[in-house]
Amino acid sequence: MATVALTACSSASVAEIDGCTTGTPLATSTSQSGALQISVCTSFQPPVESLMTGRITVKDTAGHPMDGLTLSVTPWMPAMGHGQSLAVTITPLGNGDYQVAPLELFMAGEWELATKVSGTVTDSANPSFYVP
């Protein structure tokens, strides 16, 4: 079943997997240095206890998309002290967007995506959101 979900997400267009195309991000965080705005969306809005695909959008403080970056994303549930067991793959989509898959948010509660950015800028942020 998980393979089917992954296949469906990986073959879907950005519009199909991205709840942000018709709504607001789940979370937007200012990076540690204050130089970046990092927004998060998931394939289900609101997110559900499920296997999903996410999108992180990285912009500078003037709102310009930041392409050509390398992102490292670790899904983490602070209240429980654990993350997910599946490795995350980051795929650049252009226009400051980066696909994050899979997201295995298997419990209700607050989750954060510990995000490290490197390339033309080195920074980090921990946007968080709630899975009902």
**What CATH number does residue 63 fall under?**
2.60.40
Which residue type sits at 33?
Answer: S
> Rounded to whole angstroms, how far apart are CA atoms 58 and 11?
23
3-state secondary structure of 68: coil
Tokens of 109: 């509660």
pTM of structure: 0.83
Residue range(s) defining the domain that contains residue 47: 2-131
Total number of domains in the chain? 1
Q: Is the pLDDT of residue 10 over 50?
A: no
pLDDT (tens digit per residue) in 15-59: 444 455 656 788 999 999 999 999 999 888 788 888 889 999 999
Q: Is the pLDDT of residue 8 over 60?
A: no
pLDDT (tens digit per residue) in 89-121: 999 999 999 999 999 998 999 999 999 999 999
Tokens of 116: 């490290």
Q: Name the helix (H) or strand (E) containing 40.
A: strand 36-42
* Cβ–Cβ < 8 Å for 83, 107: no
Place of tokens 């991205």: 18
Q: Is the pLDDT of residue 131 over 80?
A: yes
- The pLDDT of 68-90, averaged and rounded, is 94
- Compute how many other C-beta atoms are within 10 angstroms of the C-beta atom of residue 80: 11
Give the pLDDT score at 22.
56
